[in-house]
Each structure stands twice: as structure tokens, then as C-alpha cells.
Structure 1
């Protein structure tokens, strides 16, 4: 089964970390990616820019309207994800616990099953 391991971040929490702690989180992704590539469980991953770099598109009266920023105001935002394929939800939980962000107080990794996907690797 495929799972999306969703990393949310909270700028207040992230900014409260020391540079050493931030570097530990960022550098910890390398070994995690190596492990899930080696196990054959990794499908893809992406890290996303902050919401200040995003735009929202809505179609109103047949005309696209583009506004700066995310759709909703929130304290947390989607920072990135790993798309994995593994044998069970328990294994997906194990993988999520290995992501460095999960060890930071106030942050976590959401595990969501995929019910449909299409594209490379279908």
C-alpha cells in the first residue's frame, strides 16, 4: 500500500531551534532517504518553499484569479513529503518515526494512505 508521510512545520517552533538542532533535522533526511531507497519503499519526496512563496488560484466567473499565499491562514504548513510503498500501516508508522522532524517537540509527521495515484510508478 502507498502512504504519504506528510511533514508539517510551525515557523515559531522551527525558529526556536538552535542552528545545531536545525542542521540535525536537515542532515537527518539523507540517511532516512538512503534507508528507504535501499529497502525499495521510497517512491518520491519533495521539500516545499514557505507559504510566502506560494499563490492560490481560484476560477471565478470563468476567469482565473491568482492571489499571494496559501488558501487558509494557519500556524502550521506543509513543508514536504515522502511518498512510500510499504507492506502495512504499522510499517508506514515506523518510517514516519524515522523522519527527523518527528523527534522535534511540537512537530510531527502525518501518515495518510493513498487511495488513488497515477503517473510514473502508477
Structure 2
């Protein structure tokens, strides 16, 4: 089953990280990617641009979409990166996701991905 791992951090805290802290974060994520290369569990992933560079489009009944600058939700924690995993179980996906939690990535969502819209899939 595929799982989407959504990583959340405080962009303001990210901007003031020291070089040492950045190196530590890069090392941890690099180690995770290397560990999962051999298992085939890591399918994709990337870091995301700063939320201030985001455009949110909202559907408006009877009219054209409405665009707004900024992320969909306001708040201190913002979506900053993601991984797409292929795992044998939800427990394995959570186990992998736990490895990205640290002083920087303070919350992680693990969601099953359906291979077809509206369909449950295994």
C-alpha cells in the first residue's frame, strides 16, 4: 500500500536554523533515503518552497476560481516536505515517518494513498 508522509515545521524557525542544525537535518533525511533505497519503500519525496511563495486556489460556486497568496491554512506549522512510501503495513509507514521527527519537523501525517480516486486500494 502507498502512504503519503506529510511533514510540518515552523517556517520562521527554519529560517533561523544554524548551519550545524541544517547539516543535521540534511544528514538525517539523507540517511533515511539511503536506508530505503535498497528496500524500495521510498517512491518519491521533496522539500517544499516557503509558504509565502504559495498560491491557494479556491473553488467558488458559479464563478471562476479565486486565487490568494499564501498557504491553504494559516498557522505556525506549515507543510514543508513530503515522502511517498510503498509499505507492507500502516505500522511500517509510521515507523519510517517517526524517523523524520526532530527539532525541525515537529509533526508528521501518515495517510494511505488510493491508486484511484474514490476507491480504497491495497
Cα shift readout 1:64-111 (whole Å, capped 9, x = no counterpart): 332211122111111011110111122112111222xx0227713222
Moved over 4 A (4+): none
Return the alpha-carbon distance in structure 2 between the equivalents of residues 88 and 113 of structure 1: 10
RMSD of the TM alignment (CA)? Answer: 2.0
Question: What is the TM-score of this pair, normalised by structure 2?
Answer: 0.80
Aligned positions, number: 115
Structure 1 position 47, deviation (Å):
1.2
More helix by share: 1
Cα contact 1:3–1:113 (8 A) shared by 2: yes
* 1:112 maps to 2:122: no
Aligned partner of 1:70 in structure 2 is 71
Aligned partner of 1:7 in structure 2 is 7
Give structure 1 stretches of 5+ with no counterpart: none
Give structure 2 stretches of 5+ with no counterpart: 117-122
